[in-house]
């Protein structure tokens, strides 16, 4: 097993991409992703990775370049955040629907108005419909592992889709912490050379991205739907093989101390670990509460989630984004979709926390837990609420 070494998470991600022996990197620097691409460009410039590093003029160009690289049959990597991801938006659909394998890490950051470089999930949550595989890391080690697994998943003949690894900006990207960095040889054993199933080749010409007339567009979308859904099984298989090779276990839906809990919190990404520390604290005081976390977000692991929350009375959902004037936070929306009409479905306390870098600490967890306890005791389910806002979500009391 590799030695634990102190590293900044962004640097570790760049090293992981390098260990995956990627062929092409096209990226544009943006806070808080900058250290990832800076370090990768150094690795390439130093000759430690035989890859094409394409410095582009925008994220729109970065994603377009990545499509070209992947279409040519290259193992492709990129990274972005926030406005950068938003600028890629229209090309993201194309990468997915052309079935172009690639891995992109997103250092999750809020979207502007007002300008904010800090962490929340508004960038990725506004890209739920693009047809990519989307996974979330909770610490630096997981980010590294998901980059390595990500290439294998993305290139798997049964999947062939672009894959997004989400890790929280600053909270994870700028954190120095211990990481076991797999060696290039270990990664090579797990991640075989990429064999493109279809690529641009002058000897065997094909047309990628032709017009989809109304007579074929619906069928193309159905194919996209099943491409993402069908990725579930091979992804779980690859997580199992990763565990065999590296000893670290990953599941589509992760749980923490859920035994005989009547109340569970549902969280995602970097605040999960802080939430675990809070769970430990209140459990020590004799309160039965646990955590459920989405590792896999697309495809949405419906059955795993239902299993994880079976028998629970109240779910406290902590979203990091919401749709103004709409149905609240994205996780809560999708959980309601999964549970609607189900007998004995838990009641859902919907909250939004940690917007634009607001620290989420034990006081916030306590507050949300109080609301959950009230609902458990028979109080009506409150409407979705932005917990940390001064002045109160529904006006001053």
Partner 1 sequence: MPKQSPAPDWQDLALGTAITEPGSSRYQRTGDWHSSAPVWDLDKCIKCGVCAVFCPEGCIAMRADGYPEADMEYCKGCAICVCECWAACIAMVEEKE
Partner 2 sequence: MLELRFHGRGGQGAVTSAELIALAAIAQGNFAQAFPSFGPERRGAPVMAFARIDQKQIRNRTAVSNPDAVIVLDPHILHVANSSDGLSKDGIQIVNTMRSADEVRKEYNLKGRLITVDANHIAEQEIGRVITNTTMLGALIRATGVVEKELLIDELKVRFGRIAEGNINAFNRAYEECCVEEG
Binding site for partner 1 (CB under 8 A): 97-100, 160, 197-198, 205-210, 212, 215-216, 218-220, 222-223, 226
What six digits make up the tokens of 172? 């994870």
Instruction: List C-alpha distances in Å: 349 to 136, 269, 343, 379.
Output: 22, 19, 18, 11
Neighbours of 181 (CB within 10 A): 20
Nearer to partner 1, 45 or 223 (CB): 223
- Are the CB atoms for 149 and 239 separated by under 8 Å? yes
Among 18, 32, 289, 368, which residue interacts with partner 2 (rule: CB under 8 A)? 32
Among 66, 88, 107, 360, binds partner 2 (CB under 8 A): 360
b/e burial code for range 324-337 (CB count within 10 A of at least 16 → b): eeeebbbbbbbbbe
> Residue 171 binds what, of partner 2, partner 1, none (CB under 5 to 8 Å, by partner type)?
partner 2
Distance, C-alpha 272 to centroid of its chain:
13
What is the C-alpha R_g of the chain?
Answer: 21
Local structure of residue 391 (DSSP, 8 states): T
Considering CB distances under 5 to 8 angstroms, the limit depending on partner class, which of partner 1, partner 2, none binds residue 205?
partner 1
**Binding flag, residue 4, partner 2 (CB under 8 A):** yes
Lookup result for tokens 């994880």: 308
Q: Are 172 and 139 in contact (CB under 8 A)?
A: yes
**Is 367 a residue that touches partner 2 (CB under 8 A)?**
no
Binding test (CB under 8 A) with partner 2, winner from 16, 49, 171, 292: 171
Least spacing, CB of residue 168 vs partner 2, in Å:
8
Closest CB to partner 1 among residues 208, 282: 208
Q: Residue 291: beta bridge partners?
A: 256, 265
**Among the candidate windows 47-55, 172-180, 188-196, 289-297, which touches partner 2 by CB under 8 A?**
172-180
Give Cα separations from 360 to 68, 187, 284 (angstroms): 40, 35, 21
Of 359, 288, 353, 360, residue with least CA distance to 321:
353
- Range list of β-strands (E), 37-157: 52-55, 76-80, 102-108, 133-136
From the list 3-11, 203-211, 220-228, 285-293, the region that binds partner 2 by CB under 8 A is 3-11
- Selection from partner 1, partner 2, none that 175 binds (CB < 5 to 8 A by kind) is partner 2
**One residue of 72, 98, 175, 386 binding partner 2 per CB under 8 A:** 175
Nearer to partner 2, 103 or 271 (CB): 271
Residue 249 is a binding residue for partner 2 (CB under 8 A): no
Neighbours of 246 (CB within 10 A): 19
Comparing CA positions, the residue from 137, 132, 197 lying closest to residue 13 is 137
Residue 359 contact partner, candidates partner 1, partner 2, none, CB within 5 to 8 A by sort of partner: partner 2
- Taken in order 245, 246, 251, 257, is the CA torsion positive or negative? positive
User: Is 33 or 97 the residue whose CB approaches partner 1 more closely?
Assistant: 97
Question: Minimum distance from CB of 204 to partner 1 (Å)?
Answer: 8
Question: Per rule CB under 8 A, is residue 222 in the interface with partner 2?
Answer: no
Binding to partner 2 by residue 114, rule CB under 8 A?
A: no
Tell me the sheet residues that pair with 179: 5
287 binds, among partner 1, partner 2, none (CB under 5 to 8 A by kind): none
How large is the greatest C-alpha to C-alpha distance in the chain, in angstroms?
72
197 binds, among partner 1, partner 2, none (CB under 5 to 8 A by kind): partner 1
- In the complex, the residues that contact partner 2 under the rule CB under 8 A are 4-6, 8, 31-32, 117-119, 139, 170-172, 174-178, 270-271, 273-274, 276-277, 357, 359-362
């Amino acid at each position: 097993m590799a030695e634990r070494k102190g590293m900044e998470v962004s640097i570790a991600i760049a090293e992981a991409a390098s260990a995956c022996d990627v062929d092409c990197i096209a990226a544009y620097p943006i806070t808080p992703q900058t250290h990832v691409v800076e370090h990768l460009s150094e690795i390439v410039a130093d000759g430690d990775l035989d890859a094409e590093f394409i410095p582009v003029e925008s994220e729109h160009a970065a994603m377009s370049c990545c499509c070209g690289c992947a279409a040519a049959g290259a193992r492709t990597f990129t990274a972005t955040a926030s406005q950068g991801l938003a600028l890629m938006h229209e090309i993201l659909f194309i990468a997915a629907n052309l079935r172009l394998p690639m891995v992109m890490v997103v250092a999750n950051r809020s979207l502007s108005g007002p300008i904010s470089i800090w962490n929340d999930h508004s960038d990725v949550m506004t890209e739920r419909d693009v047809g990519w595989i989307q996974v979330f890391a909770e610490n630096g080690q997981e980010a590294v592992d998901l980059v390595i697994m990500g290439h294998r998943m993305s290139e798997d003949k049964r999947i062939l889709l672009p894959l997004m690894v989400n890790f929280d900006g600053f909270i994870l990207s700028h954190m120095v912490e211990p990481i076991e960095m797999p060696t290039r040889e270990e990664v090579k054993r797990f991640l075989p050379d990429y064999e493109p199933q279809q690529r641009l080749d002058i000897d065997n010409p094909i047309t990628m991205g032709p017009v989809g007339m109304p007579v074929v567009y619906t069928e193309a979308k159905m194919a996209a739907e099943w491409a993402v859904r069908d990725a579930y099984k091979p992804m779980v298989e690859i997580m199992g093989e990763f565990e065999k090779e590296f000893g670290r276990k990953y599941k589509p839906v992760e749980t923490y101390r859920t035994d005989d809990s009547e109340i569970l919190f549902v969280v995602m990404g970097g605040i999960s670990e802080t939430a675990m520390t809070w769970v430990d604290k209140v459990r020590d005081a004799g309160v039965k509460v646990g955590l459920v976390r989405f590792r896999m977000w697309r495809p949405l692991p419906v059955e795993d989630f239902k299993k994880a929350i079976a028998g629970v009375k109240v779910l406290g959902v902590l979203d990091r984004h919401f749709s103004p004037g709409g149905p609240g936070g994205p996780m809560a929306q999708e959980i309601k979709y999964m549970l609607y009409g189900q007998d004995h479905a838990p009641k859902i306390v919907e909250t939004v926390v940690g917007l634009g870098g607001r620290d989420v600490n034990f006081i916030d967890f306590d507050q949300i837990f109080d609301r959950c306890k009230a609902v458990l005791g028979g109080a009506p389910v409150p409407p979705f609420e932005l917990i940390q806002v001064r002045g109160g979500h529904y006006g001053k009391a």
